[in-house]
Structures are given as structure tokens and as C-alpha cells.
């Protein structure tokens, strides 16, 4: 995954790096440092599970819906993996893009991780809830904007990226 980190804005790549090391300020990590009561460490979306890296991104029913909608956008259906590295590797392996397009696919994964985290923070800090469906629209928009910045030859309009992803990834 580290090969792809320079494809996305530094705040998002920094975040992915810290997530890989479980160094993000989840409630459980804050409680470990006595910055929060451990009794206040529940997941912000589901009433089950704790606010841990693994739960927020891979185990929570909210995250699960986001990933499934993301795969649906990509025209795929696949089993869900529950940890950072296997989730990323599995996701990357779902599409056999030509090598030069693989970073676009990795970028969608990184945009998903980053968007899920921003959405979780909105609940924590402003009590604003976003639906999984709306979040996937934000993931589409964010990944498209990142691509426009990264790749001058990426000329697809957003409507195409959103509606015909396979064509934009040169899958046919």
C-alpha cells in the first residue's frame, strides 16, 4: 500500500500511515492514554463494538454498508475483510487493471478510508450523521478530485467517473 501513498494528498496519506500503525485518535486509543473514560469508548454509529481502528473501518455495520456500496459502484461483489492490510490487498486484487491504472483503484480505497474517518469525526464533534449512501457519493467526488490533481491526462468528467467507472479505469 505504501507504493500508493504519494498519489493522494498528504493529510490523507499521513492518516493512512497512522491507521496502519493504529496511531489514530480513536476513543479507545485516547482512553489508553487516560484522555477519555474507557466507559465512553463506544462506536459512534452502531451500539455494538468499540471505537477502535478495526471496528470503525472494517467491522462496524456502517463501514460494511459503505464498502458494499463502493463495490457496487465498481460493479463488484466480494467478501469483506476485517483488517487493514488484508482488506487493502483484497480490494486491490478485485480488479485486474493494467499496472498504470492500479493507482486509481488504490486511490478509491484511500479516499474511502479518509472519508469514513471524516464522517466519524463529524459525528463525534458536531453530532452530524451522514448516510452510507451519501458517504459513497463523497468518496466518488473526493477520489475524482484527487485524480484530477494527480494526473493531467485524466480527462473524464465527474458524471463518467460516477456512472461508468469501468470505462474510466480502462477496463474495456
Out of 1, 36, 49, 137, point to the residue binding Zn ion (CB under 5 A): 49
Whole-number minimum distance, CB 66 to Zn ion, in Å? 12
Out of 7, 43, 110, 136, point to the residue binding Zn ion (CB under 5 A): 43
Residue 60 in contact with Zn ion, rule: CB under 5 A: yes
Residue 45 in contact with Zn ion, rule: CB under 5 A: yes
Whole-number minimum distance, CB 4 to Zn ion, in Å? 27
Q: Virtual CA dihedral for 103, 137, 80, 88, nearest 10 degrees?
A: 20
Residue 65 in contact with Zn ion, rule: CB under 5 A: no
Q: Supply the DSSP string of the chain, one letter for each residue.
A: -GGGGGGS-HHHHHHHHHHHTT-S--HHHHHHTTSS-GGG-B-SSSSSSBS-HHIIIIISHHHHHHHHHHHHHTT-------SHHHHHHHHHHHS---GGGHHHHHHHHHHHHHHHHHHHHHHHHH-----HHHHHHHHHHHHHHHHHHH-TT----HHHHHH-HHHHTT--
| Per-residue binder mask for Zn ion (CB under 5 A), 84-123, x = binder | ----------------------------------------
Q: What's the CA gap between 172 and 1, in Å, rounded?
A: 25
Whole-number minimum distance, CB 80 to Zn ion, in Å? 14
With CB under 5 A as the contact rule, which of the stretches 47-55, 105-113, 150-158, 164-172 interacts with Zn ion? 47-55
Whole-number minimum distance, CB 65 to Zn ion, in Å? 11
Whole-number minimum distance, CB 45 to Zn ion, in Å? 5
With CB under 5 A as the contact rule, which of the stretches 1-9, 52-60, 92-100, 104-112 interacts with Zn ion? 52-60
Footprint on this chain of Zn ion (rule: CB under 5 A):
43, 45-46, 49, 60
Amino acid at each position: 500500500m505504501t507504493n500508493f501513498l504519494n498519489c493522494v494528498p498528504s493529510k490523507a496519506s499521513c492518516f493512512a500511515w497512522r491507521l496502519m500503525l493504529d496511531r489514530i485518535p480513536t476513543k479507545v486509543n485516547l482512553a489508553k492514554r487516560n484522555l477519555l473514560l474507557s466507559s465512553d469508548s463506544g462506536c459512534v454509529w452502531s451500539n455494538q463494538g468499540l471505537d477502535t481502528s478495526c471496528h470503525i473501518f472494517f467491522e462496524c455495520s456502517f463501514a460494511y454498508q459503505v464498502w458494499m456500496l463502493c463495490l457496487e459502484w465498481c460493479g463488484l461483489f466480494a467478501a469483506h475483510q476485517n483488517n487493514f492490510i488484508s482488506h487493502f490487498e483484497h480490494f486491490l486484487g478485485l480488479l485486474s487493471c493494467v499496472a498504470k491504472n492500479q493507482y486509481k483503484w488504490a486511490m478509491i480505497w484511500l479516499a474511502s478510508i479518509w472519508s469514513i474517518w471524516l464522517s466519524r469525526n463529524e459525528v463525534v464533534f458536531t453530532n452530524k450523521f451522514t448516510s452510507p449512501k451519501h458517504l459513497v457519493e463523497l468518496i466518488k467526488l473526493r477520489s475524482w478530485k484527487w485524480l484530477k490533481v494527480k494526473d493531467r491526462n485524466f480527462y473524464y468528467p465527474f458524471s463518467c467517473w460516477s456512472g461508468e467507472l469501468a470505462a474510466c479505469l480502462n477496463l474495456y
